[in-house]
Amino acid sequence: MHTLSQLKSGELIGTKHLKLAEGLTVFPLEILTLADTLEVLDLSGNALSSLPDELSKLTKLKIIFASNNQFDTLPAVLGQCPELEMIGFKSNHINQVPEASLPPKLRWLILTDNRIEVMPDSLGERPRLQKLALAGNCLTALPQSMAKLENLELLRISANNLQQCPEQLFQLPKLAWFAFAGNPFCLSTLKVKTVPSVSSKQFELAELLGQGASGVISKASWNGNHAGFPADIAVKVFKGEVTSDGYPEDELQACLKVGNHPNLVQSLAQVSEDGYLALIMNLIPAHFSNLGLPPSLKTCTRDTFPAGFTLPIADIAKIIQQMEDVFAHLHDNQVCHGDLYAHNTLFDADANIIFGDFGAASMYHMLTPQQQQQIRTIEQRALHHFIDDLLSVCADADKDSKTYQDLLERI
């Protein structure tokens, strides 16, 4: 984090990454003094509502974040920034996206949680676009021009007002991670009761285990009798608003619809009270750890791994076999996970996996048989990327093995 006083004093001359969050209401023109070097500009968490035309003078700017501000229009000047690849304007008040606001080299666009009703046709004229997050808006349709986005890999359109299934997306050759729940075209009245309902008063939350876009997971203990349940449990308390992936209720229903599987986090009970939505799950043993790390700004859609991390080919083969079984189970139950990644997978020393995080999951039993098959085909690509990512960390000594070659041919 930098300060405005540092910027004005000239202390930040030469910086490549600037982050300012001081309740700004006006864009500090002193930022232009960094034009020779600035590549990443983060103005999130201010009170900005416009950007000056002079922004285009930042000729090296590649990434701009301005989430949690007061914009009602995506600034048209963004389209004049020659090297700009990534735009993040989450949680503003944006209801207008001008045709000219999308830069020619756009690769990653995040407009989650705004008020957008229409996306411009120019969206389909951005051939480098790989990642597009539009969840939590007011879209009633998507531009037909999106059928030309041949490099689009990840798409979030959940929690909108889309009336028709956007079939122009189904022929995109690289689309692999797709979240679409919470729209009229896939409306479900299904209320899954594969687990019992309990009261939030029946357990006590303890230490924090983790948190994500849709909720907070804590270790918990039962208050009194817990007959029929294990003593050690984890509880995910959902946030009460739209997330980067959609509505918490859709996540809960998809998770329950899938039911139990030995390689999925096991659901035990649910809480559905006014203002309190939660899922009680088995506590994952402490010896499990994350298989991968989330994508970076550089990799965009592909997972990363710790430096030096490798796996023997026997472990990779075992992990892949389990994930293929999980994939079949999900789609046999007509649920698209939407986030099939190594970073959502836990593993142990024996290469046993536990897969979770249903924040981007979408039920699709209400779609036509052809549409259902197309959804499955999309997520099959994510499975292939999962295999490819694991092969990228295969131990060098195993890369000549028959198992390695066999797995490589399945991608």
Has 236 been labeled as part of a binding site?
Answer: yes
Beta bridge partners of 73: 96
Query: Helix 369-391 crosses helix 313-332 at what angle (to 10 degrees)?
Result: 170
Cα 315 from Cα 364, distance rounded (Å): 32
Cα 186 from Cα 165, distance rounded (Å): 8
Cα 353 from Cα 327, distance rounded (Å): 13
Apex CA 385: angle with CA 384 and CA 387, to 5°? Answer: 65
Q: Closest Cα partner for 267 from 364, 175, 335, 189? A: 335
Q: Record the tokens describing residue 394, joined without a space.
A: 């295969």
Place of tokens 């407009």: 111
Q: Record the tokens describing residue 46, joined without a space.
A: 């201010």
Q: Closest Cα partner for 110 from 81, 80, 68, 173? A: 68
Cα 410 from Cα 202, distance rounded (Å): 48
Q: Closest Cα partner for 166 from 177, 155, 150, 151? A: 155
Rg of the chain (C-alpha set): 23
30, 52 contact by CB (below 8 A): no
Q: Which residues define the annotated binding site for ATP?
A: 236
Q: Which residues define the annotated binding site?
A: 236
